[in-house]
Amino acid sequence: MTMSATIDRLKLSVDGMHCAGCAVSAQARLSKVRGVERATVDFASGIASIDGGDIVVSEILDAVRSAGFEPVLHESPSIASDPLAALIAQQAHTELRQITTQRQWFWRMLIAGVIWIALDILHWTMHHSQPQAWTGWTLFIGAGVALIVAGGGFFASAWRAARHGTTNMDTLVVLGVSAAFVMSAWIFLAQQFSHSMMELPLYFAESTALLAIISCGHWLEARGTSGANSAVKELLRLQPETVERVRANDEIESVALAAIQVGDRIRIRPGGRIAVDGLVLEGQSSIDESSLTGEPMPVVRRAGDSVSSGTIAIDGALVVRTLACGGASALGRIAQLVCDAQLTQAPIARHADRICRIFVPVVILIAAATFVAWLFMASVAVATVTAVTVLVISCPCALGIATPLAVMVATGEASRRGILIRSAGVFEAVAAVKTVVFDKTGTVTSGHPKVQSISVMDQRWTQDEVLALAAGAEAQSEHPLAKAIVSEARVRGLEIPSARDFKADPGVGVHAIVDGKTIGVLRDESASARIEIDGVVAARLVVVDEVRSESRSAVQALRDLGCQVMMLTGDRTSAALHIADAVGLQPSEVLADQTPRSKVDAINQRGASTVMMVGDGINDAGALTAAGVGVAMGGGTALAAASADAILMRNDPRAVAELIGVARAALAVIRQNLGLAFVYNGAAIPLAVCGVLGSNGPIIAAIAMGLSDISVVGNTLRLRAKLVRQRRSATSGTPLSVTVHT
C-alpha cells in the first residue's frame, strides 16, 4: 500500500496512547480528514478504524501524528492480498503493545512504590526525632528520582498532547504531581536557606505516592483490558502455521499455510486442525466445529461434504481440496467480523466521548478556581493541596473504558456461541427488542424439505417428465422448494435439462424456458406448488419439511425473556398452522401467505425498531433490513446474511434467545460502568473542591481514582465470567421430530 493511495477503509495501530482521552483526541483528528465519514479509535486495542471515500493514506498518517501519536500500518504490499495476514500482524502488534504497556506500568508502580515507602518511613522518622539536614535532602532527591523515572511516561504523554494543542488525562496527573513536588521543593529550599516556612509540611512522599498509586491503577487496567480482548486472539490461534500438501504424485510435503492456493489438496491427520475451507475428497471423520459455530456435538463429514477452517478432524484422516484460504476462509471472515465489531462504537458511548473531549480543560479551570479561593481563605499549602486533590480525583479514565471493554467482552463471548455481531450498536438494538418474528422454512423448520407427492393434472405428461422440467427450471434457484424438486429428480435418476431466460419472482415462483417450453413453478392455494407447462397446470406438488428439534424450546426461552414470538411465512395457512402447533405458537401469532412486500409491512406495523426478524432466504432480505434487528441463520443465503445485523453460525433458533441475553447483559454492564464513572466524578469533585478530604486529599484522590478504574474493569470481567458460566452450563432443549406439509 502506497502512502499516496486512496482507499475507502483503513485500519492501523495507534501507538503512544496512555489513556482513553488520547483515543478521543486521535479520533477527533481523524474525523476531520478529507473523505473520512466515520473514524473510531479504540484505546483498549490501540487500533483505529476509518471509513469513507477516496481517503488518502498519507493524510490519515499525518492526522495521527498531528494528534501526538505514532501510526503503524499492517497492510503492507507483501500481505495486502491476504486480509487475514494483515489481521494477524495487527493482532500481534496489539498483543505486543499490551504486554509492553503492562510491563511499563508495573515497573513504574514498583519504582515509585519502593521510593514512596522509603520516603514515608523517613518522613515519619523526622517527625519523631531530631531532624537532620540529610533527611530533607534525601526526601527531595528521592521524590525527584521518582518524578523522573516513574513519572517520565506521564510527562511525555502530557507534553505530547500540549505540543499539539490538546490535553489528556495525563495532563491532570502531571499538573497534580508537579504542583505537590514544586510546592514541597519551594518550602524545603526556603527552610534550608532562609529558615522560613518552618511550620509548613512537605509533600515529597505524597507526590511519589500519587505516581505509585496511579501507576498501579493503570497496571490493573492494562491487565483487565488484555483479558477482555481475547476472542480474536483465540480465533487466530485456530489457524495452523503449516499444513501437509498432497503433490501431484501423491507425495506429502509440509509447507507454510501462506503457500497454499485454491485447488491444492491438503491432508488432515486424525486430531489435526483443518486450515482451509474445502471439499472432502477422501476419508471420513467426525468434525468438531464448536470453535466456529458454538455447537458442541461433532458432525460427520465424508467425501463430497464441505469443511471449514479452524475446525478439528477428531477421529479420521481426510484429503481436502482447497476452496478458500486465508482471509477468504470461514475462519478469516469470522475473525475479521469480530474484530470489526469490537472496533465499532455503541451509540451510548458517544455521550462519554463528548464529555471526555471537554472534561480535562474544565477540570483545570475548576482546579485553578479552587486554588485561588483557598488562597484567600487559608494558606498557599492548603490551596495547593486542595487544587492537587481536584486534579487527581477528576481523571475520567473509567469513563473512557466503560463502553469499549464491555463491547469487547460481549462480541467475543457471542462469537464463542456461534453468534456474529456486525457492530456494537446492535447490542442496544437487540436489548430493546420486544417482538421476535421467525421466518418458517429454514428457520423454525430444517430447511431441507422433500417432495412427498406429485399429482399430475395434465395426462399428456408423466410424473417423471413433469418433475424433470420443473427441476430444470428450478436448478438456478436457492429456494428450499427448488432444492427439494432438484433433489427428488436426482434421486429418481432423471436427466435434468438446462434452462434459459430464468426469472424468479420472490413470493410468487419462477419461470424459465426448458426444452423449448415455458415452465412455471408457482405458489398454489391447495398444494406446496403447481407446475405450469406453456401456461397450463400440469401437476401439483406436496412438499414436507421437518420442524427443528430446538424450535419449541427456542420459543419458550424467548417468552421467558418477555418477548412476544411470531411466525411470518409465505406458505399456506394450513401448513403454517401445523408448524405453529408443533413449536407452541398460537394461531394469532402466525401470519401466512405473505409476500416479501407484505412481510416488510407486517414488520413496520409492529413497530420496526423493537422487532427482531430471524430468517434465512432471499424472501426475508427486505424484512431483515426493515426490522430493528435482522438475524440471519448461518445456513441461509448470502443475501439474507448481507441484510442482517447478526448471523447465527449454527442453525439453532435457541441462539436467538442467547443473543438477546448477551445483549441485555452487556448493555446493563455498560450502563453500570458509565454510572460508576459519572457518579464517582460527580461526587468526588465537589468533595475535593470543598477540601473535605483534608491534608491527605491527594493520596485519597489517587486511591479513589484507581478504584474507579478497577471497579469498571472488574465489573466488565464479571460480565465475562457470568457469560462464560452460562455458556458452559447451557443444555440442549427437548428434541422434537414432527413432519408437516409445507
Residue 285 is part of a domain; what is its CATH number? Answer: 2.70.150.10
Q: Domain for residue 570, yes or no? A: yes
**CA dist., res. 467 & res. 496, Å (int):** 9
* Cα distance between residue 95 and residue 92, in whole Å: 5
Contact 314, 273 (CB under 8 A): no
Of 485, 409, 426, nearest to 450 by C-alpha is 485
Question: Do residue 504 and residue 565 come from a single domain?
Answer: no
How far is Cα 584 from Cα 565, in angstroms, rounded to an integer?
10
**Look-up of cell digits 433490513:** 625
- Our measurement of the distance from residue 597's CA atom to the centroid of its chain's CA atoms, rounded to an integer in Å, reads 32
What is the DSSP annotation of 535-560? TEEEEEEEEEEEB-TTHHHHHHHHHH
Residue 88's pLDDT is what?
73
89 is a domain residue: no
For residues 212 and 158, membership in a common domain is answered with yes
Domain end residue (candidates: 493, 526, 545):
545
* CB-CB contact of 558 with 614 (8 Å): no
Q: From start to end of 270-427, where are the E strands?
A: 277-288, 299-302, 306-307, 312-313, 318-324, 419-421
Chosen domain end from 477, 512, 545:
545
553 in the same domain as 437: yes
Q: Say whether both 289 and 415 belong to one domain.
A: no
Partners of 320 in the β-ladder = 266, 280
Clarify whether 439 is annotated catalytic.
yes
Looking at the domain assignment, is residue 484 inside a domain?
A: yes
User: Both 314 and 354 in a single domain?
Assistant: no
What's the pLDDT score for residue 652? 83
Note whether 557 and 622 are same-domain residues. yes
Catalytic residue among 42, 288, 439, 652: 439
Query: How far lies 729's CA from each of 103, 521, 726, in Å?
Result: 36, 47, 5
Helices (H), 606-653: 621-626, 638-643
Q: Which residues of the chain have pLDDT under 70?
A: 1-6, 19-21, 74-85, 123-134, 196-201, 221, 224-233, 293-296, 341-357, 395-400, 617-619, 634-643, 681, 730-742
Whole-angstrom Cα distance, residue 128 to residue 124? 7
CA 244 from centre of chain = 33
How many structural domains comprise the chain?
A: 5
Integer Cα distance of 135 and 115 in angstroms: 14
Distance CA 381, CA 374 (A): 9
CA dihedral 31, 35, 39, 41 (to 10 degrees): -80
Residue 436: its pLDDT value, please? Answer: 93
Cβ partners under 8 Å of residue 187, min gap 6 = 197, 200, 201, 202, 381
Q: What is residue 735's DSSP assignment?
A: P
- Residue 517 one-letter amino acid: K
CB 573 within 8 A of CB 592: yes
Output the 3-class SS for 211-227: HHHHHHHHHHHHHHHHH
210 and 171 housed in the same domain: yes
- Which residues have C-beta within 8 Å of that of residue 165, sequence separation ≥ 6? none
Residues 528 and 650 both lie in one domain: no
Whether the Cβ atoms of residue 30 and residue 14 lie closer than 8 Å to each other: no
- Give the list of residues 6+ apart from residue 81 with CB closer than 8 angstroms, or none: none
pLDDT of residue 733: 43
- Check whether residue 639 and residue 732 sit in a common domain: yes
Domain span including residue 53: 6-73
Co-location of 56 and 170 in the same domain:
no
- One domain for residues 372 and 407: no
* CA–CA gap between residue 121 and residue 208 (Å, rounded): 13
DSSP reduced 3-state for 42: strand
CA-nearest of 331, 328, 281 to 306 is 281
H-helix or E-strand spanning residue 561: none
As a whole number of angstroms, the longest Cα–Cα distance in the chain is 121
CA atoms within 13 A on the CB side of 461: 22
Q: Find where cell 478497577 sits.
A: 710
The domain boundary residue, chosen from 73, 92, 123: 73
427 close to 650: Cβ distance less than 8 angstroms: no
Residue 345 lies in a domain: yes
CATH of the domain at 430: 3.40.50.1000
CA–CA separation, 597 and 687 (whole Å): 60
Phi/psi at 438 (nearest 5 deg)? -100, 135
How are beta strands 611-615 and 629-633 bridged, if at all? parallel
Same domain, 301 and 349: no
Read off the pLDDT of residues 83-116 as tens digits, 9 standing for 90 and up: 666 777 777 777 777 788 888 889 988 998 898 8
Whole-model pTM?
0.68
Task: Name the residue with cell 462519554.
Answer: 352
Q: Report the helix count and the strand count for the chain, using DSSP H and E.
A: 23, 26
Whether 685 maps to a domain, the answer reads yes
